[in-house]
Structure 1
């Protein structure tokens, strides 16, 4: 007996962890810093950590009350109806729910390339096809409606994914362009704006298009994705959500996995959502780290509004491997179709400075000649 044909499916390549690398290299984990998975360098919200400990004694019960309480809290945060909030086991789970609600067999989703692999993976799980539109490195991964519409097929594309900020480049798309895209696509096409890194960006949420705020008309063809993994530091508990138009919000009850967000995740989310100090500190750290890396890395670093930067290093595999050997784990972006680039997560001040020093030393020692493009002038890294 064999499973169904999975030849079109690809495995998700996650960033490597400290324990994994330390075992492989037979080294002490304390020698390494991980800047590969866009995790929060300050850890979880302290309030969430307390809530997790306190929730431990209640995990024998299903999280019905906690699920309802968190749904209400998120709805209040965005000033939407509770029914518009679709809690899930991470942002990935929310993607699954949208595909369950929207896709018929052989419908297609249109996704950015490069981009988050799970958009296409989830669509295929739900018997949908996957088509791509290009975000060009030569254009600094600029996002606008034209880049999408050039590849859009009104007869096939049921969902169009936008990532703002985009992973791995950090570019964003203006809300006016999202609105134009929604206007110029079919009434039966849903525009999903993935705002997993939204807290780090100096842009308003596309929720304005769902609710008709800030001068936009309300729409029933736009949804957003958010996560507690990044700014709130809860990647390990797996908690995310979608915010959808009110007109079809009740579909959640028909497509969600029962109790998909666990008791611990819901209690952690309830505590974290009010921990504004932790989020502000995290966002400030990311902004400082982005600026530092752009100024002092001896290679082209793209502008980013996420908690990471993309760096042109010429040979990503070689540079990432050598940086890892020297104790700094970064993301080789070959799996994104960018074999000349690495992605470096924004760490603490100390971690970021170590990453810059290590990257520059590796580039010099390997005699790598990256395509610098319009790179900023190299600067001497200050002593710390």
Structure 2
């Protein structure tokens, strides 16, 4: 027998790792730095690393207590009920749970283009169809309700990525509220805030809770992750925050023990490790500012832990940077063949990436967008 027809599915294309690249090129891994996958340059939360070591001897047990404890800790952090927190195996697991809770066969989801491929992948896994709205380069990738409403046709779920990957733009809460107001009663506005810690904006959880001047809503859900600011990408831990009316659905759509014992214990330690998050965010802001000031090409304003750079020929530039020991993301897979994405690294990593990119651009003599109009980097640190 054969699996069902998967011809309309696409494979997720992850950033390449140091070991993989080093083996392919026959070189020592120590020659490379990786700034391709938006990982935390400072590693995991130190408290989480201790928790993982201490938990290793008890992984023979199912994570019932740890799962409940982490749910409560996250709920306390956002001032929501435990039932509103849906723990998951990474942010992609939370995407799956939201789709399981909403989609009937043949329902549509509306996703950003460019954007995270897994929104559409997950919808198709759950027998939903996928439509796209454009986050336009001509508009400097700015996000507002109108650009989504122009494409909206009654879809069951609309995915908003804020900060947006790979551009770093955000959608203001007032625009999210307008979008929810002007779409149907049975449309869920799902806001992916995987990079939310790096943005100088309040979380859209305010729209669920009805705080900061907003009315409480039952048609907005938020996705968050421990992968970025907390540095736990390898343990796969994320969650959704849903309206109070949705709480009971989690027990019917989640997998048994939706997050592992190691992940839950790491998350419990990390959620209170404010020092690690503050340090990570400060490094990110400094790195973004440095790249915007020193890269000899157009760098878009970003509120994520990465920047998008116009380089003319992304594949050629990314390949040459890799040859020179700096792994960055060719954004051709996002539909942006003229752009690369560079993760914010440590001071040394950022400076090396900038120097390498500028050397490649000079050697290739590629046409890039002008740097005129790039804001003062000090201002970027203050308001990003």
- Calculate the TM-score normalised by the size of structure 2: 0.97
CA apart distance, 1:59: 0.3
User: Residue 382 of structure 1 corresponds to which residue in structure 2?
Assistant: none
Partner residue of 1:253 out of 246, 251, 254: 251
CA distance in 2, matches of 1:3, 1:216: 47
SS of residue matched to 1:321: helix
Number of matched pairs: 377
For residues 328-361 of structure 1, what are the alpha-carbon distances to aligned partners after superposition, in whole Å with 9 as ceiling and x for unaligned?
0000000000000000000000000000000000
Question: Do 1:296 and 1:378's aligned partners in 2 also have CA atoms closer than 8 Å?
Answer: no
User: Residue 288 of structure 1 corresponds to which residue in structure 2?
Assistant: 286
User: Residue 145 of structure 1 corresponds to which residue in structure 2?
Assistant: 145
CA apart distance, 1:371: 3.0
Give runs of aligned pairs for residues 210-229 of structure 1, distance below 5 A. Answer: 210-229=208-227
User: Residue 381 of structure 2 corresponds to which residue in structure 1?
Assistant: none
Give runs of aligned pairs for residues 1-384 of structure 1, distance below 5 A. Answer: 1-154=1-154, 157-372=155-370, 374=372, 376=374
Question: Do 1:164 and 1:173's aligned partners in 2 also have CA atoms closer than 8 Å?
Answer: yes
CA apart distance, 1:369: 1.1
CA apart distance, 1:367: 1.2
Structure 1 stretches of 4+ with a deviation exceeding 6 A read: none
Question: Do 1:312 and 1:372's aligned partners in 2 also have CA atoms closer than 8 Å?
Answer: no
Question: Do 1:299 and 1:378's aligned partners in 2 also have CA atoms closer than 8 Å?
Answer: no
Q: What's the RMSD between the two structures over aligned residues? A: 1.2
CA apart distance, 1:373: 7.1
SS of residue matched to 2:240: strand
CA distance in 1, matches of 2:105, 2:375: 51
CA distance in 1, matches of 2:52, 2:94: 22
For residues 86-119 of structure 1, what are the alpha-carbon distances to aligned partners after superposition, in whole Å with 9 as ceiling and x for unaligned?
0000000000000000000000000000000000
CA distance in 2, matches of 1:252, 1:323: 45
CA distance in 2, matches of 1:292, 1:113: 28
For residues 123-151 of structure 1, what are the alpha-carbon distances to aligned partners after superposition, in whole Å with 9 as ceiling and x for unaligned?
00000000000010111101000000000
CA apart distance, 1:260: 2.0
Distance 1:325 1:281, change over 3 A: same
Unpaired runs of 5+ residues, structure 1, are: 380-384
